[in-house]
Structure 1
Amino acid sequence: MLHLRLISPADRTDDVVRLIERTVGTTHLVVLTGAARNPAGDVVTCDVAREAGDELIGGLREMELDRTGSIAVENIDLSLSKRADKAEDEAPGESADAVLWEHLADATHEESTLSVTYVAFLTLATMIAACGVVLDNAILIVGAMAVGPEFGPLAGICTALVQRDPRLAWRSLNALLVGFAVALVVTVGFTYFMDAVGLFSAVKLDAERPNTNFIYRPDAFSFVVAVLAGVAGTLSLTSAKSGALVGVAISVTTVPAAANAAVAFAYGEYRQAWGSSEQLLLNLLGIVLAGTFTLVVQKWLWAQQRERTARTDRF
């Protein structure tokens, strides 16, 4: 269930209430007349089944309530109410399959914004991965994958392509390119420093490295895994199952590939640097293609579900 807290201008409150009452899957409607001060107006709250949330939020935005008042949405972790159970039963489809496009756009907007924190996490992840590739330590590689925040901009690109939002696409692409560029440059400098203090060496990089040599040897499986991870990551975002993102993060070789490319470039090992760059590009491409395809399929399936429900209601 979702909880909506709305601020409505007094002259639009009746329209807002009618929309909520018409929407199948809503309950616990409360109207507090004149309770809002900034902006001034009425406070309207209600609970809505997740599968009906996108329709209701879309209707509220068509009424421009996001401009004249406010729309706030929260997830309800626990709701002990027979009315809530009835609302969920009446709403079409399954809550796990519902996509809240407004929530997805907002989440990807935040995660795909170029910021100091985003660049710091990506740079730190790349330096951790650099230690992992030199030491041939798989644990460090997995840790670096978990720290890396690059899935946010990738999800932003997928969402922008499906929603045809050029601003989100540019913001996400900018965060991805600038973030990796900074991480690569800093990691090259980090490699020089670690070499100067005797912790890194070209000999270690050129060793067989059975645990990490896959990073600069891309193959068909690299793309296949990236595609599967892209589908899983997109589903975890749209179904609000954020825990699955950790598994996605440690299944794709993006940060380790960037780290290996940086270390190899610092030592003049251009064959490894090129192989790592291919690995990075393959993974990025696979995630974007799979994520975009997943969103398109979800959008089509949900549209079909709503169309079937509308036909059933007419008869």
Structure 2
Amino acid sequence: MEHLRITTPAHLTDQVLAVFTGDPAVSHLAVLRGASLEPAGDLVLADVAREATNEVVDQLSELGIPEHGTIHIEPVTTWVSRAGFDAERHTPGSSADAVVWAEVTQRAYQEAELNWTYLSFMTLATLLASIAIVVDSHILVIGAMVLGPEFVPIAALGLALVRRRGTLFGLAARTLFVGFGVAITGATIAALAARAMGWIVTEDVTGERPGTEFIYSPDKWSFIVALIAAAAGVLSLTSAKVGGLSGAFISVTTVPAAGNVALGIAFGAWGEVSGSAVQLALNISGMILAGWATLALQHLVWNRKARHRQRLLNQDDG
């Protein structure tokens, strides 16, 4: 269930109410005339089955509400209502599977923004990955992968392709490029300092590392894991079930590969650099591909469900 709060100019209020009136997916509807001071107008409150939210938002957008007012969408985590139960039961699809594109798109814009917080997490994660490689520690590798914030910007690239959002694509691509560049540069400087102090020697970087060898040894499984992890991660981002998101974070070695690139540059170990760079490229390309495919499939499925629901509504009107 989604709660919608619409701020609308008074002359559009009746058209907004018409969007909700008679729709079986709407369980509750209220209007507060003159309640909005900025912008001046009315407030319309509605509870809508999650499966039908996209269609409602699209109709409100066609009325020009985003330009003249606001559409506020808030998930209702707990509700006790017979009307709400009937609304979800009469709406095709499952609420857990439903994708509310406005929510997903806004999250993508927010978490794909290039800012100091993102750069800090990327740099810290890459530094941790570099230490994990030097000490050959599985635990630190996992910690670095969980700490890295790169997954949502990668998923945002797939979303931008599906939803045809050129601005989002440029924003996410810039965030990824600059983020990895800053993180690798910072880790390289730290590795050079550690080398100068004798904390790290060449053998730590080029020697046998059975626990972290996979980071600079890309193969077909690297790409397959990236595909599976990204598909699971995107499903967690778009559905009401988020349990798989952490698993996606700790399945793909993007940040560890960046950490090994930094070490390789600092010690002139170009075999490490090339292997890790290929690993990084495989991971990112696989995640973008899987994210795009997953979102495209969801877009197709929910468009078909929307058309099916519209046919049912037309039959009822007839």
The bucket for the TM-score relative to the shorter chain is: over 0.9
**Equivalences, count:** 315
Does the aligned pair in 2 maintain the 1:31–1:45 contact within 8 Å? yes
Q: Distance in 1 between matches of 2:169 and 2:23?
A: 32
Where does residue 8 of structure 1 map in the other structure? 8
Does the aligned pair in 2 maintain the 1:24–1:52 contact within 8 Å? no
**Stretch of structure 1 that moved more, 64-73 or 282-291:** 64-73
Where does residue 119 of structure 1 map in the other structure? 119
**Cα 1:98/1:180, change in 2 over 3 Å:** same
Does the aligned pair in 2 maintain the 1:26–1:46 contact within 8 Å? yes
Give 1:104 deviation, angstroms.
Answer: 1.3
User: What is the TM-score normalised by the length of structure 1?
Assistant: 0.97
SS at match of 2:78: coil
User: What is the 5 A alignment of 1:78-117?
Assistant: 78-117=78-117
Tell whether 2:163 aligns with 1:175.
no
Does the aligned pair in 1 maintain the 2:98–2:240 contact within 8 Å? no
Q: Distance in 1 between matches of 2:215 and 2:38?
A: 54
Give 1:313 deviation, angstroms.
Answer: 4.6
Does the aligned pair in 2 maintain the 1:8–1:42 contact within 8 Å? yes
Tell whether 2:298 aligns with 1:291.
no
**Stretch of structure 1 that moved more, 273-282 or 21-30:** 21-30
Give 1:22 deviation, angstroms.
Answer: 3.7
Q: Which amino acid aligns with 2:228?
A: L
SS at match of 2:74: strand
Where does residue 201 of structure 2 map in the other structure? 201
Does the aligned pair in 2 maintain the 1:99–1:238 contact within 8 Å? yes
Tell whether 2:36 aligns with 1:36.
yes
Does the aligned pair in 1 maintain the 2:95–2:240 contact within 8 Å? no
Q: Distance in 2 between matches of 1:240 and 1:93?
A: 13
Q: Distance in 1 between matches of 2:312 and 2:63?
A: 27
Where does residue 152 of structure 1 map in the other structure? 152
Report sequence identity in percent.
Answer: 42
Quote the RMSD (CA, aligned, Å).
Answer: 1.2
SS at match of 1:209: coil
Q: Which amino acid aligns with 1:215?
A: I
Does the aligned pair in 1 maintain the 2:8–2:42 contact within 8 Å? yes
User: What is the 5 A alignment of 1:133-282?
Assistant: 133-282=133-282
Give 1:245 deviation, angstroms.
Answer: 1.6
Q: Deviations over 1:213-269 (max 9, x none)?
A: 100000000000000011111111110433422110100010000001110111011
SS at match of 1:95: coil
Q: Which amino acid aligns with 2:52?
A: A
Does the aligned pair in 2 maintain the 1:260–1:276 contact within 8 Å? yes
Q: Deviations over 1:73-102 (max 9, x none)?
A: 111110011111111111111112211111
Q: Deviations over 1:125-147 (max 9, x none)?
A: 00000000010001010000001
Q: Which runs of 5 or more structure 1 residues have no equivalent in the other structure?
A: none
